Amino acid sequence: MKRRHWQLVAAAVMALAITLACGDEDGPTAAVPGTLVLTLTTPNADDGAILFSISGGGIDIPTSVVASNLLFHRLTGTASMNAVVVGDIAAGALVSFEVPDVGAAPSYSATITEVADRNNALRTSLAGYSLSVSRE
Amino acid sequence: MFRRLLCLAAIVGMADAGEALAQKPTTKDPNQERARLFYKWSPSHTLKHSPVLSAAVVNESEPNDGPASADAVSLGDQGTGDVDPSGDIDYWIFSAAAGDILDIDVDASQVGSPLDPMLELFASDGVTSLAFNDDYDDLDSRIQYTVQAAGNYYMAISGFSDMGGPGYFYSINFNLLVCDDSGYLETEPNNEAGSADAVNLGDVATGVMCATGDVDYWSFSAPAGTTLDIDVDAWAVGSSLDSFLELFDSDGVTSLASNDDFDGLDSRIQYTVQATGTYFIAISDLGGRGGPDFFYAINFRTLVPGPGDPTTVFASGFDAPAGLAFDRAGNLFVADLFLEQLWRVTPDGSASVFATGIPGPLGIAFDGFGDLLVAGNDGIVYKVSDTGVSTAFLTQVDCPFWIATGPDGSIWVSDICADRIFRFDAFGALQEGFDVSSVGGVSFLAFSPAGELHFSNSFANAVFKLVAGQPQLVFTGDQFLEGFAFDVNGNLYVPNEIRGRVILYGADGTVLEDPFALTVQSPVALAFGRDADGTTNARLFATDFGAGAIVEMNPAGISAPGWPVGVELLVVSPDALPDGVVGADYTALLTVTDQGVTPTWSVIEGALPPGISLDSGTGVLGDYPTEAGTFAFRVRAESGARFGEKDYSITVTEATLAVTDVVNAILGVDGVLSPDEERYLDLLGNSNGVFDVGDFRAFLEATGGLGSAARLTDHALMESWKVDHGLNSGKGAQ
């Protein structure tokens, strides 16, 4: 009888431990692959090309959100990519890309390097421009 | 010579020659002309003058269609009749004594008859034709004939082209001429040198050509060096004589000079005798006609030599020297018209054949590059290499006659058929033609020190200059103002082939020296000599067409050097320039082949490719082109008074870039584009001096990547663009 009691106690403790370990607040969570989106903020309505870089791990399969825009990209390292989008660019979702864990979205960032208007003139100032990263 | 040249133009069948020549002075076949010079006078008879009036009127009696049935008349009678029916021939018979001068004169058309008569004189056998005439007084016929032997003679009268019929009447006067020389200084017989009438220099001789074939000889003595001026007055004072004058040497046979027309139809010979002796002048009617109204006077004068006398023979052995020109080394080149040769005469006067095969070479000139140009009478201006090889150069001129090279290197050619002057650029491209028919066409050409083209008209009796494309009279003068030359002061030395002299005119046409030189037989063209260094000097040379020689004027009489003929252009090199690429560095070097010359460079026509510059001091073409296209331009090199020009064309193409390279470059791959290529892309885009995303966008536009039609296709391609970092660290690849 005594032996059975301890077995039950041990099982109960284990169950509690498991319960605690798998809880939302304090327990470890699994990576969730998914898509992140770069959203453009621009002070102009006639942007024609934008050159930018993305930082973050495991960036893959970038895609132009606007089908009529052209996207070219190049991995520059394990956690960086250069890309250029050409077209009639407007504020809003610009590019989507795959990441291994959408939960890590805050760790991704994008930096605009150059912007040209639709007459191919280079913007002399990038004030007011930004690219934000968010989950799709 | 000038007339002969025109005739030659006709002989070779130039397209418009016939029409043009109709406006030119009377032309003669050169062979006929030469034959005439060596024509020997046949003796004739002592002549008296004034006709004998008719003694009786004899009406024809048909049939009289042959010698056997001829109607008889006596000299002095008048026969009358009709040429009826068509094809009728009336024969008349008369007797004449040896030496009689017959003057058988028909009146028909001139008195209202429809008959256009023809006359033929037959010998005593009734068959042998002695003389024939169709038209003398308009349509009416007349025969003058000196009877050689006593006997009966027959005169046949008929209608031209067998015309005849009722009302075709005529009268025929059988006159006998007798000569009466009492009113003249001549004393017949004087029909040969042995019976010449003697005169002295300074005298005026008078005479009359009583009958056909008459010729009068005059003899006179002249010391060596005397320049004769034997001047006929006949046509100018109302005589019917169309005089022909010939000067013979002391043997009475050797012809020294001759002339047909000088003052209108009147003849004149100017000639410098080489030896003291007796000389002979023969005068006749050009057509062998005669009559009491064929009277004349001959002035036996002498001329005072000019400052250019005495001339000396510089080179000889030519046949018919025409155009002449000196090269920059001082060698003289001469066109020999009839032998169809080009001669080269060295500064020491040694002549050798330089080139052959150019038909009828006339005017010659050196172009701005030192090449010899020759006007052939086959309608082609030839370029002759320094080894004597000729090639057709200009073919747009119907009848090229004379050539002049302008101070800008342009080439000017006179067209004696089209009465036009053509201007070509230094390279032979036709620029413009100037119609000068309003002033009687064009013959000889030369540029003045003011750079104005001067030319004589086709009659060679006036000199014009071309001002704003229009002829402007400079002066008029004697006929046969031929290949003239300017001195540095703008004075013109003008040869007169017919008068056998060189005349010096001022720039305004004022006669400064006439003669400037007399001791030249028939000068056609003049040229100032050049020293071995190319400097035009104060030695003046003439082609003496008649003497077949090059003669030099007395240099002591020449007050100023000649104005340099043409121009010596700097020769610009290279022959062609490399093509370029937009944005790519471009370098080429222009040079001149003349040693020691550092010219200033400029573009004078057209334009360099945008972006390309020419360093005016070094001749370097540099920088980089900014636009594609083909750009033609002319560069000019100037060094002091000398210059050269050359036409170039540079084709600039767009750069050929791989899309992958451009994409990689914009995405940060270093070294995939050269600086030239990045510059090209920048020029394609916003030209701000760097390759940026705007330029990248422009590239896509230019290559169709942004085109609506291409987009769908390219989109898939572009979207699939991916450069794997680990595999493509260099230029990258898909």
Domain boundaries, chain A: 1-30, 31-135
Looking at the fold, whether B111 and B132 belong to one and the same domain comes out as yes
End-of-domain residue from the set B160, B180, B200: B180
- For residue B641, the model assigns a pLDDT of 76
**Do residues B338 and B473 both lie within one domain?**
yes
Per-residue model confidence as pLDDT tens digits over A88-108: 999 999 999 999 999 999 999
Distance between CA atoms of residues B645 and B426, nearest Å = 9
pLDDT-derived band at B20, boundaries 50, 70, 90: very low
- Answer with the residue of higher pLDDT: B21 or B373: B373
pLDDT tens-digit map of B449-470: 999 999 998 877 899 999 999 9
Q: Is the pLDDT of residue B421 over 90?
A: yes
Tell me: do B222 and B101 sit in the same domain: no
Q: Which amino acid is at B591?
A: T
B395 and B467 belong to one structural domain = yes
Beta bridge partner(s), residue B234: none
**How would residue B733 be classed by pLDDT, with cut points 50, 70 and 90?**
very low
Residue B1's pLDDT is 41
| Cα separation, B174 vs B54, whole angstroms | 7
Express each pLDDT in A14-61 by its tens digit: 444 444 444 444 455 788 999 999 999 999 999 999 999 999 989 988
Do B93 and B67 belong together in one domain? yes
- Residue-level pLDDT at B621: 97
**B693 to A121: CB separation less than 8 angstroms, yes or no:** no
Is B566 a member of any domain? no
> Does any domain span residue B468?
yes
Task: Show which of B270, B286, B303 is a domain's final residue.
Answer: B303
pTM of the model: 0.53
Q: Which pLDDT does position B183 carry in this prediction?
A: 77
B70 and B163 within one domain: yes
Nearest 10 degrees: Cα torsion B502, B504, B509, B510: -120
Q: Which residues of B touch A116 (CB under 8 A)?
A: 685-686, 692-694, 696-697
Q: What is the pLDDT of residue B181?
A: 64
Yes or no: say if B97 and B150 are a contact pair by the CB < 8 Å rule: yes
| b/e burial code for range A109-129 (CB count within 10 A of at least 16 → b) | ebebbbbbbbebbbbeeeeeb
For A31-135, CATH gives 2.60.40.680
Would you call A48 and B697 a contact, using CB atoms and an 8 Å cutoff? yes
Tell me whether residue B563 is in a domain.
no
Using the beta-carbon criterion (under 8 Å), do A84 and B667 form an inter-chain contact?
Answer: yes
Arithmetic mean of pLDDT, B516-525? 89
Beta strands in B304-429 (DSSP E): 312-316, 321-326, 332-336, 341-345, 351-356, 364-366, 372-375, 381-384, 390-394, 400-405, 411-415, 420-424
Is residue B411 included in any domain, yes or no? yes
Burial of B510-540, coded b for 16+ CB within 10 Å and e otherwise, reads eeebbbbbbbbbbbbbbbbbbeeeeebebbb
- pLDDT tens, residue by residue, B326-355: 998 999 999 999 999 999 999 999 999 999
For residues B467 and B604, state if they share a domain: no
Residues of B in contact with A54 (CB under 8 A): none
Confidence (pLDDT) at B704: 76
How far is A69 from A66, CA to CA, in rounded Å? 6
The reply to whether B612 falls in a domain is yes
CB-hemisphere CA count at 13 Å for B417?
21
For chains A and B, CB pairs below 8 A equal 90
Local confidence band at B710 (pLDDT 50, 70, 90 cut-offs) = very low
Task: Determine how many CB atoms are found less than 10 A away from the CB of residue A27.
Answer: 11
Residue pair B482/B322 in contact by the 8 Å Cβ criterion: no
Which of the residue ranges B380-384, B415-419, B531-535, B674-678 would you say has the lowest mean pLDDT?
B531-535
CATH at residue B619: 2.60.40.10
**pLDDT higher than 50, residue B448:** yes
Mean pLDDT in residue range B50-62: 72
Chain A hits for B714, Cβ within 8 Å: 70
Confidence grade of residue A13 (pLDDT, cut at 50, 70, 90): very low
The CATH number of the domain where B95 resides is what? 2.60.120.380
Residues of chain B with pLDDT > 70, as a percent, come to 88
In this prediction, residue B33 has a pLDDT band, given cuts at 50, 70 and 90, of very low
Same domain, B602 and B677: no
Of A68, A74, A87, the CB nearest to B723: A74
Q: Calculate mean pLDDT across residues B228-233.
A: 92
In a domain, B567, yes or no: no
| CA-angle at B68, arms to B66 and B73, nearest 5° | 90
Which residues in chain A are closer than 8 Å to B696, comparing Cβ atoms? Answer: 49, 51, 84, 86, 116
8 A C-beta contact, residue B269 and residue B245: yes
**Looking at CA atoms only, how far is residue A43 from chain B in angstroms?**
18
pLDDT at A17: 45
Cβ-defined contact of A72 to B705 (cutoff 8 Å): no
Domain that holds residue B208: 188-303
Closest CA relative to residue B608, chosen from B638, B582, B630: B630
Position B685 pLDDT exceeds 70: yes
Q: Same domain, yes or no, for B456 and B319?
A: yes
Cβ-in-10-Å burial (0-12, 13-18, 19+) of A106 comes to exposed
DSSP string, B551-604: EE--GGG--SPBPPPS-----EE-SS---EETTS---EE-EESSTT---EEEEE
Count of domains for chain B: 6
Work out the percent of chain B whose per-residue pLDDT is above 90.
67
- Which of A54, A72, A129 should be substituted to probe chain B, the one whose Cβ sees the most B Cβ atoms within 10 Å? A72
Total H helices, total E strands in chain B: 7, 53
Q: In terms of pLDDT, which residue wins out, B56 or B706?
A: B56
Let me know whether B391 and B411 are in one domain.
Answer: yes
In this complex, the residue of A68, A83, A121 whose CB is nearest that of residue B694 is A121
Rounded average pLDDT over B685-698? 96
Mean pLDDT of B65-73: 96
